[in-house]
């Protein structure tokens, strides 16, 4: 059974190759993406709100969800499905109070301790990583498969694995206990985002079935 967290796509205009972010997201949704995270750190607030509103409309049309990275104000402005926070952003417990109980709250974690604190603060899911080295962080902050496995075992929340994940690595992180994978370049930079999303989602679903069969 799918959980709704299998494929979580994070936006990045710099990887879209000049294509409109909305168009790449639309193709990702056609390929089965269930969550879109708007992460565009250099956009001014007005443009961020405009893009967030457009992505909300798109995700609603496909029965998916849109989550805004960092910017609680933008998430509230467009009535997004939720917000995702890093360890250096607004404390999750405060964000939960401002969001109310109905919206999704995600927190980036890189250790069991951070994951447990996110649970206490009211998170609905955690983004665990970086699982593998990435172009932006290299080896810094890499938790590896064992780090992911420990986090997944410690919390009773969906754990979305992030960091250097593509189709080839998707099955490994699902086997380690992740509910889904968060990808950036694997979809945003793909020549055919729809096909890329479809292939990753298929791999994740098959790996989840295999994991369930072993338990």
Indicate the DSSP class of residue 136: T
Helix 167-175 to helix 193-214 angle (10° resolution) is: 30
Which residue out of 13, 137, 202, 211 is catalytically annotated? 137
Positive or negative torsion for Cα 78, 185, 143, 168:
positive
Count of alpha carbons within 13 angstroms of residue 45, beta-carbon side: 7
Give pLDDT, residue 31.
98
Do the beta carbons of residue 174 and residue 211 sit within 8 Å?
yes
Note if 137 is an active site residue. yes
* DSSP letter assigned to residue 125: E
For residue 38, the model assigns a pLDDT of 98
The single residue of 39, 93, 202, 211 carrying the catalytic annotation is 39
Where in the chain are the domains? 7-214
pLDDT, position 139? 58
Positions in the chain short of pLDDT 70 = 1-2, 136-140, 215
133, with CB counted inside 10 A (0-12, 13-18, 19+), is middle
The domain over range 7-214 is classified in CATH as 3.20.20.70: yes
Considering the candidates 65, 108, 117, 167, report the single residue annotated as catalytic.
108
Catalytic annotation present for 39: yes
**What is the per-residue pLDDT for 3?**
76
- What does the pLDDT look like over 90-131, one tens digit per residue? 999 999 999 999 999 999 999 999 999 999 999 999 999 999
- pLDDT, residue 134, reads 81
């Amino acid at each position: 059974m799918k959980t709704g967290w299998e494929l979580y796509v994070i936006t990045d205009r710099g990887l879209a190759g000049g294509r409109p972010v909305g168009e790449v997201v639309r193709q990702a949704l056609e390929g089965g993406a269930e969550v879109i995270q708007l992460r565009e750190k250099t956009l001014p607030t007005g443009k961020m709100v405009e893009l967030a509103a457009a992505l909300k409309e798109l995700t609603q049309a496909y029965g998916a969800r849109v989550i805004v990275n960092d910017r609680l104000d933008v998430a509230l402005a467009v009535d997004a499905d939720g917000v995702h926070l890093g360890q250096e952003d607004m404390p999750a417990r405060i964000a939960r109070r401002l969001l109310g109980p109905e919206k999704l709250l995600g927190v980036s974690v890189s250790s069991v301790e951070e994951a447990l604190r996110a649970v206490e603060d009211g998170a609905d899911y955690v983004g665990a990583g970086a699982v593998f080295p990435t172009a932006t962080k290299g080896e810094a902050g890499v938790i590896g498969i064992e780090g992911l496995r420990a986090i997944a075992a410690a919390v009773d929340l969906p754990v979305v694995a992030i960091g250097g994940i593509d189709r080839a690595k998707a099955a490994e992180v699902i086997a380690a206990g992740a509910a889904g994978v968060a990808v950036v370049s694997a979809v945003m930079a793909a020549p055919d985002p729809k096909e890329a999303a479809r292939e990753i989602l298929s791999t994740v679903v098959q790996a989840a079935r295999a994991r369930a069969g072993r338990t």
